[in-house]
Chain A
Amino acid sequence: MMTSRRRFLKLTGAAAAAVGLPAAPARAQSGPVKIGVLAAKAGVTAPVGESGLRGVQFATDRINAGGGILGRRIALVVEEESSPKDTVERFRKLSLSDKVDVVSGAVSTGVGLALGPVAEEMKTIWLAWDATTQKGVEETMPKPRYSFRSCDNECEAVMASILTAKNWKGAFRRVAGINPDYSYGRDNWAAFLAIMKRHGIEVEVVSELWPKLGSTDFTSHVAALQQAKPDLVFSCFWAGDTPIFMKQAHAAGLTQGTKFVLTTGGGVHESMKKAFTPEGVLLGYNSMYFEHPRASALMKEFVRWHHEQFKEWPNYESDHGYFTVVAYKAAVERAAKAAGGRWPSVDQIVAALEGVEVESLSGPRRYREDHIMEATFFQGYTTHKNKHDFVTVDPVEAMGTKQIQKPSGVGLYDWINSWKV
């Protein structure tokens, strides 16, 4: 045991001397382009991580089939996103040990908050799929250089609130919120209330419930809602808890005569069965709707590929994943053109990523100069008229982040209060 350990130390020592450590992480200029991927594989975020990874895989296959990035193939190095501590270690591994060119991934808010500073320290470009909370954007990372964020967490709440104000004004007064007990749930609920106020809609909050993310029993919550008798229930559940809540709410008769706003339930759209999800619920699909009637040829190809591969219809996280890879490719090519055809440096790629716009699955997407993603969001009112056993929406409403995401450098609530309504 000891000898083998010594030999191991000696060997690694020799290896370290051979590559001339310690040195700044030098990126290879030839061979494949390495993209590190952080995808959740266990726990409540696992389906989201899987979905994002599929988008990355689809983009990678297409790019490699078309000759790669400037002639270099893409090779993926996939690691697991788990707790903040372990994921920071995985990020360091990708950067220091695998020497990846860029890291794509991460969806959990706590992980996102931890990874931002690490990406800056490691000078490694990080293109997040999600995990963009107010705190992460405003307090922790005022001017990130290497981190590129997803759309604000509140986009879906803002859009759902605007639609609610437009279509249901006057039809409700008593509102109840049931949202997951963490920053995402808190921020979304606060945004909803702020927008109702801005629109001059007087609401009475009759119940505010905060079940833990990933709960599987809502019988008591549903009973509390029954007591509170709301006209409208607002929820930004996005995981497996969404169908469970709707199932139990439906079984208790709560879905009769009560309006429902599910900002992000489209994340688990296939489990929103017709049996317990009524028609007329405002359902949000974040930034991609798999059955959009005006979907691009690219989108249709992806949906087909996804269904053939996994026997499932894709959700929005795939497009976050897809976009990060395609945006990276576009930025490298743009920067290379400016650098006379040579493979650009990390800083040149960062500069090229700022403002880059590409055709993503759901339509055009871009990175703002402040490293925040711009996309189109899709929501609509549920219908049972489809070929599936789960609900879809008709008609589909689309709003761009120019309309539903706060602009650079402005606080969320200052922005909402500045609206002209």
Chain B
Amino acid sequence: MLGGVFHAAVLFLVAAGLQLVFGVQRILNLACGSFYALGAYTGVSAVGWALGAGLPAPLFVLVLLAAGVALAAIGPPIERLLRTIYDRDEAFQLLLTFALVLMLEDVIRFVWGTAPVQLGGVYLVYGQARIASTTVPVYNLVVIAAGALIALGMGWFLARSRFGRIVRATAENREMAEALGVDMSRVYVRVFTLGVGLGTVGGALVIPATAAMNEMGIELIVEAFAVVVIGGLGSMRGAAAGALIVGVLKGVAIATWPEVEMLAIYVIVIAVLVLRPAGLFARATA
């Protein structure tokens, strides 16, 4: 169960980035998985460098967060690229993000090579906890807490802050928001960068528990899609609920009937489509 929640926390961050960008810009970003992978690789390099420079080990999680956030700097130039085709059919936007997937995969290969890259010795810095007779590394709980905090933070941000209101207004009615004097291009840059940042932070946070591999992004994107279909495209609450469902379902399937680990997710996806086509927390209807 808890293993599933850990996976869900990471999945949520990637799916939230996907949802945010889709909600506002109507772009389905296939490259969200690549940002996640990029975050993971950068996290390894950043922490390796920081520990080498004498940083006390318990602070490594801050370095990971910083690396994830800093990496969001690739958001604006990529958004600039996407901006050239905002007025075109959505299919072109999807394809441009597919082009990004191809390019980023090779960028990672070029910079970090093909061998898996891992972060030595920090996973258990915070020790282990015993929960219901099983041992769990505290870092997993840190990631779950971080995922939950970011979810709550996003919720507050969208509901309360000025920029959040603009984002919601734009998602609901772009023309109206524009007519009311919202500078659309600035909103887009910020939203896209925020979306990238959620993915890169997710990748950076997960890395102490795992190792970065070339295809980790391409694999994750499919699960992130399952999350948004289940939760409802464009909905932040949907991303959270969908991530929990997918993560926990996977955990339960592995514990009880490992053969259906992958299939179970798709079965839920199709069930949701048949029974509740717009997803569990649909805002935008198809």
Instruction: Assess A/B contact in the complex (Cβ within 8 A).
Output: yes
A273 and B119 alpha carbons, distance in the complex (Å): 10
Instruction: Check A42/B3 contact, CB under 8 A, given A209-B254, A212-B262, A216-B210.
Output: no
A244 cross-chain contacts in B, Cβ below 8 A: 116, 118, 210-211
Provide the bound-state CA to CA distance between A360 and B15, in Å.
50
Query: Is B195 an interface residue when CB atoms closer than 8 A count as contact?
Result: no
A234 to chain B, nearest CB (A): 15
Contact assessment for B128 and A253 in the assembled complex, using a CB-CB cutoff below 8 Å: yes
- Provide the bound-state CA to CA distance between A44 and B139, in Å: 27
A128, B128: Cα distance in complex, Å: 45
Number of interface residues, chain B, beta carbon within 8 A: 42
Residues on the B chain within 8 Å of A268, using CB: 115-116
> Does B251 belong to the interface (CB within 8 Å)?
yes
Please report whether the interface of chain A is mostly helix, strand, loop or mixed according to DSSP.
Answer: mixed
Contacts of A224 in B (CB 8 A): 254-255, 258
Bound complex: CA A216 to CA B3 (Å): 13
In the assembled complex, how far is the CB of residue B208 from the closest CB belonging to chain A, in whole angstroms? Answer: 9
Chain B 1-12: CB-based contact to A (< 8 A → 1; otherwise 0):
111101100100
B185 interfacial by beta-carbon distance below 8 Å: no
Within 8 Å CB of A221, what residues of B? Answer: 3, 254
In the complex, the answer to whether A275 meets B120 with C-beta atoms within 8 Å is: yes
Q: B169 on the interface (CB 8 Å rule)? A: no
Task: Tell me how far the C-beta of B133 lies from the nearest C-beta in chain A, rounded to whole angstroms.
Answer: 9
CB-CB under 8 A for A243 and B116, given A208-B258, A219-B3: yes
The reply to whether B213 and A240 contact each other, CB–CB distance below 8 Å, is yes
254-283 of chain A: CB within 8 A of chain B: 268, 271, 273, 275-276
B250 to chain A: closest residue by CB: A220
- State whether A248 touches B210 (Cβ < 8 A): yes
Is B175 interfacial (CB 8 A cutoff)? no
- Tell me the residues in window 192-234 of chain B with beta carbons closer than 8 Å to chain A beta carbons: 206, 209-216, 219
Q: Tell me if B210 and A220 are in contact (CB < 8 A).
A: no
Q: Judge whether B211 and A252 touch: CB under 8 Å.
A: no
> Is the CB of B103 closer than 8 A to any CB of chain A?
no
Task: Check A231 for interface membership: any CB of B closer than 8 A.
Answer: no
A220 near B214 (CB under 8 angstroms)?
Answer: no
Q: For the complex, is B135 an interface residue (Cβ under 8 Å from A)?
A: yes
CA A212 to CA B105, docked complex, whole Å: 20
CA distance in complex: A389, B118 (Å): 13
Q: Classify chain A's interface size.
A: 35 or more
Out of B134, B213, B255, which one reaches A44, CB within 8 Å? Answer: B213
- Does B109 lie at the interface of the complex (its beta carbon under 8 Å from any beta carbon of A)? yes
Q: Separation in Å of the A198 CB from the closest CB of chain B?
A: 26
B258 interface neighbour in A209, A219, A222, A226, Cβ under 8 Å: A209
Closest to B213 in A: A240
- The answer to whether B134 and A240 have CB atoms under 8 Å apart is no
Question: In whole angstroms, how far apart are the Cα atoms of A18 and B137 in the complex?
Answer: 70
A141 at the interface (CB under 8 A from B): no
B214 & A271 in contact (Cβ 8 Å cutoff): no
Tell me which residues across on chain A come within 8 A of B60, comparing CB atoms. Answer: none
Q: Chain A nearest CB: distance from B123 CB in Å?
A: 6
**A residues less than 8 Å from B251 (CB atoms):** 219-220, 223
Q: Is the CB of A42 within 8 A of B134?
A: no
Q: Cβ of B250: which chain A residues have Cβ within 8 Å of it? A: 220
CB-defined contacts of A226 to chain B, threshold 8 Å: 134-135
Tell whether, in the assembled complex, residue A217 and residue B135 are in contact, meaning their CB atoms are under 8 Å apart.
no
Which A residues are in CB contact (< 8 Å) with B6? 217, 219
Determine the distance from Cα of A120 to Cα of B60 in the docked complex, in whole angstroms.
Answer: 56
Q: List 11 A-B contacts (CB under 8 A).
A: A214-B219, A216-B216, A219-B209, A220-B255, A223-B3, A240-B213, A247-B123, A247-B209, A247-B211, A271-B116, A271-B211
> Top 4 A-B pairs ranked by shortest CB distance?
A240-B116, A219-B3, A46-B114, A253-B135
Known: A210-B258, A219-B4. 9 other contacts (CB 8 A): A41-B109, A46-B114, A46-B115, A212-B219, A216-B216, A219-B251, A223-B1, A247-B118, A251-B140
